[in-house]
Structure 1
Amino acid sequence: MKRHSIKNHCLNGARFVASPHYDARPDAEDINLLVIHCISLPEGEFGTPYVEQLFKGTLDTTAGSGFEPLAGLRVSAHLVIRRDGQLEQYVPFNQRAWHAGVSSYCGRRRCNDYSIGIELEGTDTSEYTEQQYQQLAAVSRTLLAEYPKLTRQRIVGHEHIARGRKTDPGTGFNWSYYLTNL
């Protein structure tokens, strides 16, 4: 199984692409939730440069671009795992990425304050690739080892912290397979 390491709150082996869409956590030591998401731009198209552009704040949202509804959106994630398993990191883990939006877990609001967000390139209904599962499991093991407040029991989907608003990673995500590989 693949092994990763973390240096200066960045994952070795991940291509680092700085996002301007982050800020300081209220407590940088309180990282205790891992949130799994999915993303593709346009919906269902993979391997495009548009997710990176969205997280960098450079996505063309002018009339005719097809991305007009995303105008002014300021979002990011800590990591993206592409269909082929390639890793991109947009925000260091000790900083607050803007991935969860209005959210709560176990009665505590503002999940961005204390979570790490990982985006899988996919849709709510698409099946994820073996490379993504293997990479997600390897990254998760590394995060669990590095941040002691993270536990297997504190790994959730966006759908679990933003009920009624979000559905990702969706029905295409095999939770039991992922957790077995941890």
Structure 2
Amino acid sequence: MNWQADGWLQGVTWLASPNFGERPAGAVSLVVIHNISLPPDEFGGDWVEKFFLNQLDPAAHPYFATIADLQVSAHFYVRRDGRVIQFVGCDQRAWHAGNSCWGERDNCNDYSVGIELEGSDTQPFSGAQYAALWPLLDAVQARYPIAAVAGHCHVAPGRKSDPGPCFDWAAVAARYPALALPAEVAA
């Protein structure tokens, strides 16, 4: 996979979100894994895309009225079928982690790439998603000095639970033994 200007990855679908900002000085060194489904625990449709593009119709589902005014984005979104969509160039700061901390560093959005997997805390992710995630992580590592991979639950403990207990951290550890992982999943 090759990169374009501003950290846009070739070979994936691009949908430019307005929800991003400039990164402060410093290297991108962390990948944060998330899960998302809209409505919650339902897959398919284009609701997540609309959410990241600020086009979510609050009247389309009762849950949407509670989130439609949020301005959220991730760098990448991996659908259940393995299709990868990029919303923010990785040289920019996506708004995916919120109030967060990894190690001694706050504001994970400043130095991380956010990858959302279409899913929930209660259902396993698909084989197609992992088959798409590995080359995506490889590409991100090839462009940036990634030192660690963590879940949203690890950078925002008590506030977030994703990617959830169904995410295969053992596979991440096996494929990327040089990367730091959260203590509870690295063992």
TM-score by length of 2: 0.89
- Whole-angstrom distance in 2 between the partners of 1:78 and 1:131: 19
**1:17-166 matches, cutoff 5 A:** 17-27=15-25, 29-62=26-59, 65-147=62-144, 149-151=145-147, 154-166=148-160
Letter in 1 for 2:66: P
> Displacement, 1:46?
1.1
Partner secondary structure for residue 131 of structure 1: helix
Report Cα offsets for 1:151-177 as digits up to 9, x if no partner: 3xx100001000000010001101112
Question: Where does structure 1 lack aligned partners over 5 or more consecutive residues?
Answer: none
> Displacement, 1:65?
4.8
| Equivalent residue number for residue 163 of structure 2 | 169
> Displacement, 1:71?
3.0
Report Cα offsets for 1:75-111 as digits up to 9, x if no partner: 0000000001001000000000000000001121110
Letter in 2 for 1:122: G
Segment of structure 1 superposing worse, 58-67 or 16-25: 58-67
Are 1:133 and 1:178, in contact at CA under 8 Å, matched by a contact in 2? Answer: no
Report Cα offsets for 1:118-163 as digits up to 9, x if no partner: 000000121001111111111101111111x203xx1000010000
- Whole-angstrom distance in 2 between the partners of 1:110 and 1:81: 23
Letter in 2 for 1:168: D
TM-score by length of 1: 0.91
Are 1:134 and 1:181, in contact at CA under 8 Å, matched by a contact in 2? Answer: no
Partner secondary structure for residue 133 of structure 2: helix
Partner secondary structure for residue 34 of structure 1: strand
| Equivalent residue number for residue 14 of structure 1 | 12
> Displacement, 1:64?
5.9
Segment of structure 1 superposing worse, 161-170 or 61-70: 61-70
Higher relative contact order (CA 8 A, sep 6+): 1
- Whole-angstrom distance in 2 between the partners of 1:132 and 1:83: 6
- Whole-angstrom distance in 2 between the partners of 1:176 and 1:77: 24
- Whole-angstrom distance in 2 between the partners of 1:146 and 1:18: 20
